Structure 1
Amino acid sequence: MEHRYLGNSGLKISEITYGNWLTHGSQVENEAARACVRAALDAGITSFDTADVYANTAAETVLGEALRGERRESLEIFTKVYWPTGPKGPNDVGLSRKHIMESINGSLRRLGTDYVDLYQAHRFDAETPLEETMQAFADVVRQGKALYIGVSEWTAEQIRAGHALARELGVQLISSQPQYSMLWRVVEAEVVPTSRELGVSQIVWSPIAQGVLTGKYRPGQPPPAGSRATDEKGGADMVKRFLRDDVLTRVQDLAPVAAELELTMAQLAVAWVLQNDNVAAAIIGASRPEQVTENVKASGVRIPAEVMERIDGVLGDVVETDPARTAENAPKRRPA
């Protein structure tokens, strides 16, 4: 397992990070979840990403229990705050000082740790002054409850404004967590160049495009039983944007490329995002330990430039590149 620096900081994280969105506390039984975490640790993964909203806080609890007994200093634990949690009252959401301060305490309790390495704003809060949000994050860092701060799915302009305030407050905003894959490249035009300038790295989620880049979804055929596209708990909504025959046909054409590199299609997808020098880590999830064992083999893979160009040619115009999609997909107001 290779490690990379996170942003302009001295913190190194495993370039493949284990995440438990849509799995722990919901899709996957706790015993299987623990087995996946053990597989991640055995494979050399040291970085683990979660959020308070995943399974309405249950995912943090499962991850904390799975990591119990591990040397804390040898791990990098990330979590997030923004989406509604708990009974979902009027202050159980957003990036107000109240919600941030209460949420970090809840996350630490569930994770069974005194601090997280990275505390992330899970979305931009249009209803809270950014100054209030960044001051609260700075106080969380000064209290020793988080070492660094980051954001998720913020636009380039929002990252720039948040980074400037963090710098004024003497804390380090070092990461951005966007969706990024061969099929979803909306961060390349604006977010990545801005982040490079500011010393911010990407920790990308869904590098396999919710499983589409494994090739298991085939044009003209129904989704496989038990796949994310059949999951009514949320997975189906996320994957449906890619389940068009034109997209699925192009994805099937990637199989020979993967074979030539002696990679599975999933490994190719993970390795592809790691070719971007602004990407510090790709987050992988798993419902079975063997998925972790296989996907970590993407670590350290170098894809030749001519093969990267070939991949672009295969996918053609089914790739989404419009930077406006980040803002379009962002909440305009806090969820009720």
Structure 2
Amino acid sequence: MSATKMKTLMLMLSDNPGIGGLEKHTRELAKEITALGHEVAVVAAPQHVEDLNGPTGFPINANRSRNSLTLLISILRIIRAGNYEILHAQGTKAAFVLQRLAPFIKRQVRIASIHGFKSRYPKAGAFHQLIAVSKALANDIAQPGVTVIYNGVSIAGQAPAQRPDGLDSPVWLAVGRLAPVKGFDFLIKAFQFCPGTLLIAGEGPEHQRLQSLINATGQSDKVKLLGFRTDVPALMSAADGVVISSEREGFSYVCAEALILGKPVISTNVPIANEILPKEHIFQGGEPAHFAALLQQNPAVLADSQAGARAFAFNRLSLSAMASNTLEVYQKASKGLALN
């Protein structure tokens, strides 16, 4: 890889008050590329450029529409003032903004990373490279020349959480915002047929409805809503296995983190679980009892059969692999622009 220092601006227009997958990816990629000696700036909502510790942050009002003239002009001014070589849109809103600005930024390399399934995607022709965070997403984008770069994960050195007394084994952990798309209601119904304990870490608008479902199914002693947690890796380390019940995902950080921690995973048919786990550990649809059948397996046996998936996670799902692959895309696109 070339040692040439590059000057990159990342644009991320999420107005999410918290840190989800898109926000986590942008922050971690910007920091990792900065640590490799490149200059990176991040344009995002104020809450997402705080405490970047390395990259430069430019706060912007991300609540505005992608078609807002004020937003477009503000971003164009930042681009021109910074004399950036690489413009990297994170997420579809940022990508559509760069697509609109393309006639005014012809001298810069334009990259867009797509993180989730959408009904409409930016046009590949407006960019020098589109990146998808999973093979399934790349197939759904269905445009020429889409590169797959998996998100990287980093597991902080946390000691396993203390498992509360009185929990029946095995202990399964589910993680995510308590929203319908995460499928926790289906999981709770399925767990009626399972031995052990289910812990769900996360907060969101579905909390009360899910608690009512837990009570109505007589599982208040075996299914626990933990609320928002900052120690998810420690919780994973203390659990026997991790379960993913999402209806859709662009890239499952939960799956990647669990595998790197050596934990077996049972998942619905979502990326990246459906790309690297054994097919027999992926729920292909059906009734809650069918999902429960997967969770009735011995976690130790599951872990043995997922050795290949863990090896893939260690080799391909690290922050260093993500940053290295992204820099290769930058350099290839830069060479292509220089030749035109």
TM bucket (normalised to shorter chain) is 0.3 to 0.5
Larger Rg belongs to: 2
With normalisation by structure 2, the TM-score equals: 0.34
Greater RCO, 1 or 2 (C-alpha within 8 Å, sep 6+): 1
